[in-house]
Amino acid sequence: GAVVSQHPSWVICKSGTSVKIECRSLDFQATTMFWYRQFPKQSLMLMATSNEGSKATYEQGVEKDKFLINHASLTLSTLTVTSAHPEDSSFYICSARDLGTVPYEQYFGPGTRLTVT
Amino acid sequence: AQTVTQSQPEMSVQEAETVTLSCTYDTSESNYYLFWYKQPPSRQMILVIRQEAYKQQNATENRFSVNFQKAAKSFSLKISDSQLGDTAMYFCAFRGSGGGADGLTFGKGTHLIIQP
């Protein structure tokens, strides 16, 4: 089956620094990827839709200047949390849409746990 | 905007029993997709079952089946012959049919515990 990877699986950074999270589709091309955020014991919330070759679409309430998304190729999207603060600590999950399936399937990465100290 | 509601924060049943998880949703769209995802302690999201709104027949996948009531906007998941490995968070999710650019809207989840 289709595989989506995320790197790193966990990261600790100091307040004020930036951290980049990668999402890769390993065996299929993905023009669209999605970024979700999950706080402890809560549900997943869609943050943004990442489109290859164009600007990301952010959900209402998500600061686009804080969460920079770049989808530079058909297999890679990156989420950069800029000037991270403790309240940005969360579990970030990406998913990727497989163009080759009808209706399209969406596969999830294993997630990245971000802790800001 | 669509909303997804799961009213059971936690459920506990004995192994081999049947359990039903509830989900209701609200949308103005006529065509859409509904999903149940399982999230075990590893936190990897695993697709359990999918239902396409234009299909009247309820989806089934081995021990998992749904009761899809479109008019009532209800989408429950039934797990038969429950196993210890079914212990996990279960999320109901909605996706519109807007050209493939729709992310998922999730409910708050139900923590299912299967007791030995």
Taking the CA atoms of residue B12, residue B13, residue B18 and residue B23 in that order, the dihedral angle to the nearest 10 degrees is -10
From A32, A91, A93, residue closest to B101, measured CB to CB: A32
- Per-residue pLDDT at A54: 87
Q: Name the DSSP class of A43.
A: -
Search chain B and give the residue with CA nearest A4: B44
**What pLDDT was estimated at residue B99?**
58
Would you state the pLDDT for residue B82?
A: 98
- Supply the pLDDT for residue B30: 86
Does B45 touch chain A if contact means CB atoms closer than 8 Å?
A: yes
The Cα B67–Cα B75 span in angstroms is 6
Retrieve residue B46's tokens: 């695993």
Residue A105 CA to residue B5 CA, distance in Å, equals 23
Residue B10, pLDDT > 80, answer yes
Q: What is the pLDDT of residue A105?
A: 80
Between chains, do A43 and B107 touch, taking CB under 8 Å as contact?
yes
Phi then psi for A88, rounded to 5 degrees?
-85, -10
Nearest CA in chain A to B43: A110
pLDDT tens figures, B60-99: 999 999 999 999 999 999 999 999 999 999 999 999 876 5
pLDDT at A100: 75
pLDDT in tens, B23-50: 999 999 888 999 999 999 999 999 999 9
Backbone angles phi, psi at B73, to 5 degrees: 55, 55
Check CB contact under 8 Å for A49 and B45.
no
Identify which of A112, A108, A70, A110 has the alpha carbon closest to the alpha carbon of residue A88. Answer: A112
Per-residue pLDDT 10s for chain A (117 aa) are 789 999 999 999 999 999 999 999 999 999 899 999 999 889 999 999 998 888 999 999 999 999 999 998 999 999 999 999 999 999 999 999 887 776 778 899 999 999 999
pLDDT tier, B101 (very low <50, low <70, confident <90, very high otherwise): low
pLDDT at residue B100 in the model = 54
Q: Respond yes or no on whether the N-terminal peptide bond of residue A86 is cis (omega within 30° of 0).
A: no
